[in-house]
A and B are shown apart, each in its own frame.
Chain A
């Protein structure tokens, strides 16, 4: 922007030195442009490579790849449905836990907590987001899985066992455990972005609600939260995109079973997990390209979600600044 406002004064007579520096400007413009353009190129190239390398699988299965239920490398029959199901189910479990928890915490941090406490808690939560997923997976294997197997899953079976979602043996690993691990990885996103959105709500909104006799909760829930809703929804989309693409922690606790189960306690598979587990062992063109095609499906899913999240977040920040 600055460049448009400030222009060099017109030169009355050409001088060598200034000419050289002006050429230098053009060179640096060009060089930085090339690097910026390479980001575009790399991304386009990424999609192209995924498309090309998934060719044999796309040619053989077509769209039935997305609905096929068998995954049989020996017979070279590949269907993605169990993995799409597992990915969507674990992400859904993760959001069912992390959204109420995260939005609740964001409300407390934005509306009630004194700024120092709020900043400290946000700091802890954001540090949690920096913990590598393989380390959370390590913890999940050795702490979460035994707890699930010995206490949580038997308890769920005893109390809710008549529901189809809580049946079968308690392995400890499975959809539910993976969903909980994902919840821990996603709530930092929900909290930090929702908190920003809530903090961006003009104080007049709160004051007006309180002046009309609303309680603190009523002003928060009926005025402040609806005002910031686009930002909160954006944070949920980002969390969902992260949950869908998350690999390591899920791979370590999902249980690796290539069939579809209704029970949340059963072991399953996600798209990212099967790629991580089978890619280096895959033999044959069709097998490999089926795995690449799974990657393409995952890419498409997260791309759509990310785009939606970006638009929502942009919409809220624009709205916020206009209100100011």
Chain B
């Protein structure tokens, strides 16, 4: 009986430990949110959204150019990444043969796993080197490379989830394959694909490493897309490692703004997805 007792004790200890692991890991998100909300909220003011950064060491100013810059970079990235991911995904789900599709799928997973800093080097060699200077184009291109595999896999996954009876029904009515895809299959998978794209945008919105030597940074407004551009993540980085207290304050504020946007996008897309799933079931 001693042995049974020992086994039961071990059982209880180990199960408690797994519970502790869960509490520890789940609470990290709230620690992150708490610290950021506490420090960021104190630092956030109207100037942050409307003014340009001041030179190092001066108190005040904001990050208006970085907010707009991030928006522009994301737009460029989305304009390249979403169509490529979407059309590529349609190929994989609707047209693809076996070997070639598998290669594309595998490469997309590889591209998804390429460290973001390496993506930055690639964008630098392709755009910054020929142009001889940093530009918003290069930054947007780097971000789009991170978006393509996400959009591709999301599109494929949700197109495949569309029941075959819908395809057969449409084809039986005499619709062509293109018509079937455009009018029946894509609309049926619309919600999921949209969600995937939003998640992709949320992921690239916080990327810093690919921007360091593509869009670089800018203390002023970027007049053209061919000029270096400020962005929120790079601003957070440069301000956080600077020795100035007021810049630290701004970094916290920028962090709070960025994280709020990213989390809203994540939560909203999950909510839409779960609602869609329950609506289909019911």
Contact = CB atoms under 8 A, between A and B. Distances in A.
Given A39-B108, A134-B237, A302-B114, A276 B209 contact: yes
Interface in B19-48: 19-22, 24-26, 28-30, 32, 35-36, 39
B276 to A, nearest CB: 17
Interface of B: 7-8, 10-11, 14-15, 17-22, 24-26, 28-30, 32, 35-36, 39, 83-84, 87-88, 90-92, 94-96, 100-101, 103-104, 106-111, 113-122, 124-126, 145, 148-149, 152, 164, 167-168, 171, 176-179, 181, 202-203, 205-209, 212-213, 216, 233, 236-237, 240-241, 248, 251-252, 255, 258-259, 262-263, 266-267, 270
Given A28-B178, A248-B237, A128 B29 contact: yes
Residue among B83, B108, B240 having the largest count of chain A Cβ atoms under 10 Å: B240
Contacts of A215: 7-8, 10-11
Interface residues of A, number: 94
B109 to A, nearest CB: 6
Contacts, number: 275
A86 B32 CA distance: 26
B255 A138 contact: yes
B116 A247 contact: yes
B246 to A, nearest CB: 14
Given A124-B26, A135-B255, A221 B118 contact: no
Contacts of B236: 134-135, 138
Contacts of A52: 125
Contacts of A113: 22
Contacts of B178: 21, 24-25, 27-28
Given A130-B202, A135-B206, A21 B176 contact: yes
Contact of B118 (A8, A21, A280, A298): A298
A101 B206 CA distance: 26
A295 B209 CA distance: 12
A217 B10 contact: yes
Contacts of A218: 7, 11
Contacts of A33: 91, 95
B106 A125 contact: no
A127 B267 contact: yes
Contact of A101 (B21, B39, B109, B125): B21
Interface string A293-311: 0010011001101110010
Given A31-B87, A105-B25, A130-B263, A112 B117 contact: no
Given A39-B104, A104-B21, A272 B117 contact: yes
A20 to B, nearest CB: 9
A200 to B, nearest CB: 18
A222 B158 CA distance: 36
B14 A37 contact: no
Interface in A1-38: 1-3, 5-6, 8, 18, 21-22, 24-25, 27-29, 31-33, 35-38
14 contacts: A2-B164, A5-B164, A18-B176, A31-B87, A35-B83, A36-B92, A36-B101, A50-B118, A105-B22, A139-B32, A217-B15, A245-B117, A247-B117, A276-B117
A104 B104 contact: no
A185 to B, nearest CB: 10
For the complex of A and B, the 8 pairs showing the least CB-CB separation, nearest first, are A132-B206, A245-B115, A104-B21, A32-B91, A21-B176, A108-B18, A35-B87, A306-B113
A32 B156 CA distance: 12
A182 interface: no
Contacts of B251: 138
A40 B15 contact: no
Contact of B111 (A39, A125, A127, A248): A39
